[in-house]
Structure 1
């Protein structure tokens, strides 16, 4: 018997969380290797996908991840457009849903990038650092360009602060359906992961704001550049290693979400569902 549309959506969403876990685990793992000078590198999502592509069975693995990334994009659209999580239409809820639309676009783009590697459409294009600077240069060339870049920086900074709040409050636990014994290791992974991502987002936002202030696109950095900037700070190697560890932890947390996240089809919010994560 073919799965129902609701079941297909759930499978796509869970594969999507797993694919996001692969990407973040690779980003964190490569950064950890770099922190311990074991041959890794500070890279972003595209660099992680390229790394996976060049591993044994990389084409097969990347094709599965690409499917997952497209599935996650579909799930994000359901969250945003159909309000699958039941946020409502309050101003704060609309901001969250707009963020989910942007997330859908980003992950669909990553899926296209991964599929391009699998199909041999290109070598992967320019690096993420150059891409960040090119986008910043393009925005700066538009009317009110400095304000546009500043607005993007503030939006990314707001997302980073939101992640820090999630790390502190563990609000993500409300959407997990797992027993207390499982929650005792899943929730700390999520807290550590969201905190690390929040730091990286705030760094990227800071560089964009600096680029807007100086009208200089060379000040913009992607995820890899933001990570490397930590090394220039006091105790930089330690900070770099801790954030890298947090990003890897977020990858593991995404695997847990793939298993335990409550996936509700639009209109299911009022229906009884599995028990949520319990920490007592």
Structure 2
């Protein structure tokens, strides 16, 4: 009689792995560029501002490069691949999370991630065909405005703020506690590569969590004041970080962390098993 507990899931189909790797590379490119531009904005280098470090600003930076439309199109396709991979993980359970409460929670997280990067893929594609469609901060402002128009709108925006803050706290916890290490250490990597991935992942997840915390705080201000203009995206979060005491250094530290996160995405694409 077969022992179900000894079942070891096989690798996913090749197309899932290819989509995931291409998507992780595109995500890494975006985060590395966000980090570089945010670092430049922190010290006012090259005329860069925090607005330039938002997702639409980064896409514009790519578009202004030689062959920029082609490059941005590749990024859009990569982000779409990442989206489809996340949806596949959520619906087909290729990561084998199961159908219990904890597993469904993780699969919902995959779905949410797919929606976020699907929206970014859509924005990049619109810019390729000549319609920028507004900045990342504007999209969140629009979302806050739509929610505030609904019954109990301030409560809805408040719930979104709390959810974003919770996500930021989880990112920081995930990085600081080293919970992601089990996935890195299960890949049979060389010790040096494994150590580099662990170090880049820790710094990257914490920096990403800080940005999410600030975005959640901005949504919280929008909820309390019932003013959608208080909400914002990553560029607004960078501006908020820069505005405080030692703001330039704080922003620079977070920017370097985001570069590490981008590098971690590249290393995941190259070394980490895909599921």
Same fold per TM (> 0.5)?
A: yes
Deviation string 1:20-57 (CA, Å, 9 cap, x unpaired) is 00111111110011112212232222221121011112
Alignment equivalent of 2:152, drawn from 144, 149, 155:
144
Deviation string 1:123-159 (CA, Å, 9 cap, x unpaired) is x122222222221111011011111101111111111
Deviation at residue 119 of structure 1 after TM alignment: 2.8
Structure 2: distance between partners of 1:24 and 1:107: 12
User: Corresponding residue for 1:34?
Assistant: 41
Structure 1 SS opposite 2:95: coil
Deviation at residue 5 of structure 1 after TM alignment: 8.1
User: Corresponding residue for 2:27?
Assistant: 20
How many residues are matched?
259
User: Corresponding residue for 2:15?
Assistant: 8
Contact kept, 8 Å, 2:56 with 2:134, in 1: the verdict is: no
Deviation string 1:76-132 (CA, Å, 9 cap, x unpaired) is 011111222222233233222212112111212222222222233x1x122222222
Deviation at residue 202 of structure 1 after TM alignment: 0.6
Structure 2 SS opposite 1:84: coil
Structure 2 SS opposite 1:79: helix
User: Corresponding residue for 2:103?
Assistant: 93
Deviation at residue 65 of structure 1 after TM alignment: 1.3
Distance 1:45 1:127, change over 3 A: closer
Contact kept, 8 Å, 1:231 with 1:239, in 2: the verdict is: yes
Structure 2: distance between partners of 1:158 and 1:89: 23
* Unpaired runs of at least 5, structure 2: 1-10
Structure 1 SS opposite 2:99: coil
* Unpaired runs of at least 5, structure 1: 265-280
Alignment equivalent of 2:135, drawn from 127, 131, 149:
127
Q: What's the Cα RMSD here?
A: 1.6
User: Corresponding residue for 1:201?
Assistant: 212
Structure 2 SS opposite 1:64: helix
What is the TM-score normalised by the length of structure 2? 0.89
Alignment equivalent of 2:70, drawn from 60, 78, 81:
60
Deviates more, 1:236-245 or 1:168-177: 168-177
Deviation at residue 235 of structure 1 after TM alignment: 1.4
Structure 1: distance between partners of 2:38 and 2:196: 23
Structure 1: distance between partners of 2:19 and 2:272: 13
Contact kept, 8 Å, 2:127 with 2:133, in 1: the verdict is: no
Structure 1 SS opposite 2:98: coil
